[in-house]
Structure 1
C-alpha cells in the first residue's frame, strides 16, 4: 500500500479521491449532506488566503482504497488542523485508516499544528467514533443533524407565519451582501462565531471582516447559491440573520447559521428569518427536496423553532479533538 498527497490539479487523481468519499457516505450515511465534485475542485484549487487543504490517498494496485483530508486555517487558530479519514467499506479493518491517520498526523505536526479535530457522524454504527477514540480523539461537543422534507404543507406554513411578530423588516439577498449592510452583517457573523456552542473544543472564535466575507462569497458562488435573510429594525439596525447554502447540481439545502443578536431576542426573529429563506427556496429552487441543519440539543430556543418546522434528527454529530 502506498500513501501520498495527490496532485489536486490532476482531475483524474482528484476524481479517484472523491469517489472514495462518495462511496463511503452512500454506505454509511443515508441522509448526509454531500459536497459535489465541483465544490471540492473549488475548495482545493481556487486561491484562498484563509484556508489551505491537502488530500492524501492510500492506494493498492493503482486503486484508491482510503483517503484523508487535512486542512489549516491560515489567519487564525494556528495550533489547529481539521482532519478527516475515510476508507472504502470493503477495505475497512485492515489498518488502512490507521496508516492514513499516522501519515496525516505527521504532516500536520510538520506544519506546526499541535491539535486536530474532525466531525464524526453516527447513525447507528458507532464504528467511526470508536476509530476516532482509538486514535486518541475525545468527543468534545455533540449536535443533532436535523432534516426537513420539502416543501412544507401549506397549513404548516400558515401556522408558522401566524406566530411571527412584525416588529422588523426581513431583508433577503442572494449571493453578494448589499454594500450598505456588509459592516453590520460582518458584525453578526462574528457574533455567531462567538456564540456558537463548541463544547470543550480548543478553538478560538474567528473575526469575520467585510473583506473575509467578500472573499468567501466570490469563492463559494462558483459551487453554491447563497440565500441570506436579515432582520432590520425601523431605525436600520440589523437584529439577526439566517444563512443558507444550495450546492449546484444537488437537491439538498444546507441551513447554516441562524442568529438573533442579544439585544433583539424575544421577538421570534429566528422563526421569521427561517421562514424568509424558506420562501426564497421554494419559489426559486423548487427542485430541492430536503433541508439540513445542525443544532446543539441544549439550544432549546432553536430546537423549538426547528421542531415547529418539522425537522427530525437523522444523525448525531460528534466534534472530536486530539491534542499532542
Structure 2
C-alpha cells in the first residue's frame, strides 16, 4: 500500500474517493441515499479555523481507504479528530494500519500527540481499534427523521406552540446583515467540540461569513431559525440545517443560551426549522443528525420531535 497526501478541497480528490465511499456507505448505511459529490466535498473540505489532513492508501492506482483529520488551529497541542475508512474490496490487507501509522506520524510532525477517530459501532471496528491499542472514549448516536412521515404531526404541533415573549426569524443562505453580529455572539455560547471542526473562541461577523462560504463551496445551503426577545435584537437561540442536492439533509447546531432554557425554545426553534426546510425543498425526505449520547438534553429533544436512533458511532483515541 502506498500512502498519499491529498487536498480535500480539490475536485480530483473527491472524484478519486467517491467510488470507494459509495461502496462503503451502501454496506455500512444501506438505508441512506447514495453518497453524492456534495456530501463528500463537505466531509473533506478544510473547515474554518482548521488544518485538514487527508491521507489515502492506494493499491496501485486505486484508493483502498482514507483517513481525514481536522486540527483546530486555536488549540496547537489539541487532537486531530476525524475518521478512517477502508473500502470493502481492500479490507484485511493492512490499509487501515498503514493509514493509522501515517496519521500518527503527521500529527507528531505538527507537535500533536492524539488521534481521535469516529467509526460505526461494530465488532470488526472494535477489534481493529483494540489491535491498534486505541481507547474507546465516547459514543454518538445518529438520529434520522422523515419530515413527511409520522413526525410531521409532531412537528406541526410543536411549531404551533410559540413561547411567550419571543419571536422567530428564519433565513436561508447568508445571515441578514442586521443579524450577523448578534448571531456571532450567540454562536460564542456553543461549547460542543465537533469532529474535524475548530472551536471558534470569540466568533465575529467574519467568522460567520467564512463558515457560510465554506458551506456554499461544498454545495450546501444553510437553513437557520433564530429566537429573539419579542422586543429585542439579541439572538438567544438558533438551530441550523444544511440542504444539498440529495434527498437527505444534515442537522447542524441547536443552541439556546443558558438564561433562556427550560421554556420550550429549542422545541419551537427546531420544529419550525424542519417544517420550513421541508416546505422549501420538495426532494427532502430524510434528515440526519449526530449527537453525543452524553448530551442527554439534545438526545431527548430530537426524540421528542420524532427522530429515531439509526446507528451508534464510537470515538477512539490513539496516542502518537
Counterparts in 2 of 1:175 and 1:21: CA distance versus 1, 3 Å: same
Structure 1 residue 162: deviation in Å? 4.4
Taking the TM superposition and a 5 Å limit, the aligned residue runs for 1:76-115 are 76-115=75-114
Q: Which residue of 1 aligns with 2:58?
A: 59
Q: Which runs of 5+ in 1 are unaligned?
A: none
Q: Which residue of 1 aligns with 2:24?
A: 24
Instruction: Give the secondary-structure state (helix, strand or coil) at the position aligned to 1:220.
Output: helix
What's the offset of the Cα at 1:17? 2.3
Task: Return the match for 1:238 from 231, 235, 239.
Answer: 235
Counterpart of 1:288 in 2: which secondary structure? Answer: coil
Q: 1:318 aligns with which of 293, 314, 317?
A: 314
Q: How does 1:203-214 map to 2 (within 5 A)?
A: 205-207=199-201, 208-214=203-209
Map 1:1-324 onto structure 2 (within 5 A): 1-6=1-6, 11-12=11-12, 14-31=14-31, 36-38=36-38, 40-41=40-41, 50-122=49-121, 125-153=122-150, 155-192=153-190, 194=191, 196=192, 205-207=199-201, 208-222=203-217, 223-236=219-232, 237-247=234-244, 249-324=245-320
Q: Which segment is superposed worse, 220-229 or 150-159? A: 150-159
CA deviation string 1:267-304 (max 9, x = no partner): 10011101221122121112111111223344443333
Q: Encode CA deviations 1:128-163: one digit per residue, 9 max, x unaligned.
A: 233234323222222211111122455434432344
**Which shifted more, 51-60 or 183-192?**
51-60
Query: C-alpha separation between the residues in 2 aligned to 1:65 and 1:146?
Result: 29
5+ residue gaps in structure 2?
none
SS of corresponding position for 2:74: coil
SS in 2 for 1:191: coil
Q: Which moved more, 1:48-57 or 1:168-177?
A: 48-57
Contact 1:44 1:52 in 2 (8 A): no
Shift in Å, 1:230: 0.7
Q: TM-score, normalised to structure 2's length?
A: 0.86
User: What is the TM-score with the length of structure 1 in the denominator?
Assistant: 0.85
- In 1, the alpha carbon distance for the partners of 2:287 and 2:44 equals 26
Moved more, 293-302 or 17-26: 293-302
Q: Residues 159-184 of structure 1, C-alpha deviation per residue, up to 9 Å, x if partnerless? A: 32344434310111111112222222
State which drifts further: 217-226 or 14-23: 14-23
Deviation at 1:72, TM superposition (A): 2.4
Summarize the Cα distance change of 1:189–1:10 in structure 2 as closer, same or farther, 3 Å threshold: closer
Deviations 1:168-202 (A, max 9, x none): 1011111111222222212222211x2x388xx9x
Do 2:54 and 2:66's aligned partners in 1 also have CA atoms closer than 8 Å?
yes
Root-mean-square deviation (CA, aligned residues, Å) is 2.9
Q: Give the distance between the partners of 2:291 and 2:77, measured in 1 at CA.
A: 27
